[in-house]
Homo-oligomer: A and B are copies of this chain.
Amino acid sequence: MGKKKTTSAPPAGPRITPLDQLAEAAECLRVLAHPHRLRMLQLVRQGDFTVGELAAACEIVSPAASEHLRLMERCGFLVADQRGRRRYYRLAEEHVPHLTAILTCIESRFGAA
């Protein structure tokens, strides 16, 4: 039972995260936990899209898409710039790695055409 310590073993600590940090993480996950929002994220990963385009891709009306997009903008996942009467959404740079990780995980499990 002597703990044989190999070189460069990862930190053996129990790797737990404070509960208030996990609460933040859970909030982020709740934002992701919606089929239309997931599809919107899949799309904006590949370029800019307008509210109407994303609504059509999700087969929902624009007002509904607008709310989903604003939610994701408020929590920092998306950024938008307005050009004329259109509003173009794209992924926020800082979240690209995390969102990519999660979307890749989902696609590996549920497939992507």
Contacts and interface: CB of A to CB of B under 8 A. Distances in A.
Interface in A84-104: 88, 98, 101-102, 104
Interface of A, helix, strand, loop or mixed by DSSP:
helix
Nearest to A46: B14
Bin chain A's interface residue count.
35 or more
Copy tally for this chain in the complex stands at 2
B17 A110 contact: yes
A98 B106 CA distance: 8
A29 B105 CA distance: 11
A113 B13 contact: yes
Contact of A38 (B1, B22, B104, B106): B22
Interface in A1-52: 1-2, 5, 9, 13-27, 29-30, 32-39, 42-43, 45-48
